[in-house]
Chains A and B, each alone.
Chain A
């Protein structure tokens, strides 16, 4: 997937009614692209083997 740019961020934010300030869009693009890369790397894991259980102090004990 191609990296998102500042224009993409402005469109996404506008669609969610999230106002941006100044040059927010450039840094947010870097941050969001870092998130998307980190989460894409999870596809190599056996995610279907587990369920997203919440943590409970006793349940985990």
Chain B
């Protein structure tokens, strides 16, 4: 592939859309470029479960004809997108990453897919994920997804393919779903931008549930501007999802111009300075905090001690919700689950109900502490993960003690689940690399429905940092 074609593939969707309006790029050219990259790279990366090549090319030709006639469907006209295979797509296999749904072909699109199509987007494929978006999959039924920066390392989950496809430029933009960090973690590990919107900002209709009380669909992209662009398309009330907000959807791209000047930002000390946080991650996040101060923000440390409980509280609530959803299948089709998923669900199904009710009250306390901090501060800052992408083998090793189970399943999740438990928006944006050239993610958390401020800060940091986020082309 030529340098020009690489530049085209890695260009943000907002730039690609502008090129199309200027007749410098055609939808067919762009779809073809991505199909070529998928063919070349995805044998190793395994981001995709289904590639909709012929269908995407056909739609690209139609989009090209419409553009030639001056008919523009919307801000994503001719832009190829791919979505996590947890999201329904009419007439296209939708597996939720599980062998149990190997033949599932939904009759209609999820609301978010329908909105991307209405805005002119072209569905190019369905993306790999941990089974049922739960994390901890040992054997992926549709291929082991791999980190584009180092194929022996984990791409993060559960929106694994969404992170890979965004970072490795296998399409223009992607959608993931974030329950406890499933958009932010792959963004952090793969060096992409991943936004979890406020719970209720985006419709969950047609999204296979992980935990209904925290599930939220969000974009994974190469730039903050693209995250703003996609959110503007998918956000808003949906009669099919009664939990969606009726608040007006702001112009998120326009809000990027506000940057971070005058914002008050708190650095969560338990997460930045905690014993689990690796030194390289701590250094990169502290450096980013100094950078945001240089850009005009007021930055201070803040302690949120209840965050130490968030991993366990989240896992108890999320997994018990999921165990309830899966109980009929666990009773009759248990052997079809991946071993890791099955054991996770069965363990959660045995948690005493009284303990779960205590966890629900603890969630209220954690939320109260976070919202209290956000009443005084505009934004909170933390690492997305305490460490860079671990080796894939880390997740496949057997669990040998309760202490290990706690460290492995609760510890890391204390970094992303606070925003999930509080229902507030949070973004992961690249903030550096380790010595081994693995990306580090900076997490910016905002007030309820405060996506504009979150995106503004992330965009300001992205522009100031100027990081080059093209993974090595070793695949």
**A residues neighboring B (CB under 8 Å):** 3, 9, 12-13, 16-21, 24, 27-43, 45-58, 60-61
**Interface contact A34-B406, CB-CB below 8 Å:** yes
B423 — which chain A residues lie within 8 A by C-beta?
55-57, 60
A58 — which chain B residues lie within 8 A by C-beta?
200, 245-247, 448-449
A49 — which chain B residues lie within 8 A by C-beta?
365
Known: A35-B316, A41-B312. A28 touches B350 (CB 8 A): yes
**Interface contact A45-B343, CB-CB below 8 Å:** no
Known: A31-B399, A58-B245, A60-B371. A39 touches B342 (CB 8 A): no
**Interface contact B406-A60, CB-CB below 8 Å:** no
For residue B347, CB closer than 8 A to chain A, the reply is yes
* Nearest-neighbor residue (CB-CB) of B351 within chain A: A35
* Nearest-neighbor residue (CB-CB) of A46 within chain B: B365
**B residues neighboring A (CB under 8 Å):** 198-201, 213-214, 243-247, 306, 309, 311-313, 315-316, 327, 330-331, 334-335, 339, 342-344, 346-352, 355-365, 367-368, 371, 398-406, 409-410, 422-424, 447-449
Known: A31-B405, A31-B409, A43-B358. A60 touches B399 (CB 8 A): no
B198 — which chain A residues lie within 8 A by C-beta?
57
Additional A-B contacts beyond A38-B410, A54-B213, A60-B367 (14; CB < 8 A): A9-B350, A12-B350, A33-B405, A34-B409, A35-B355, A37-B402, A39-B358, A41-B312, A42-B309, A47-B365, A48-B361, A57-B199, A57-B245, A57-B247
A21 — which chain B residues lie within 8 A by C-beta?
334-335, 339, 342
Known: A9-B350, A21-B342, A31-B347. A57 touches B365 (CB 8 A): no
**Interface contact B350-A45, CB-CB below 8 Å:** no
**Interface contact B200-A56, CB-CB below 8 Å:** yes
**Interface contact B312-A38, CB-CB below 8 Å:** yes
A41's partner among B214, B309, B335 (CB-CB below 8 A) is: B309
A30 to B315, CA, bound (A): 14
Q: Can you list 29 A-B pairs, Cβ within 8 angstroms, ordered by A?
A: A13-B350, A16-B350, A18-B330, A18-B331, A21-B335, A30-B399, A34-B402, A34-B410, A35-B351, A37-B402, A38-B311, A38-B316, A39-B351, A42-B313, A42-B362, A45-B306, A45-B309, A47-B362, A47-B365, A50-B361, A54-B213, A56-B423, A57-B245, A57-B247, A58-B246, A58-B247, A60-B423, A60-B424, A61-B449
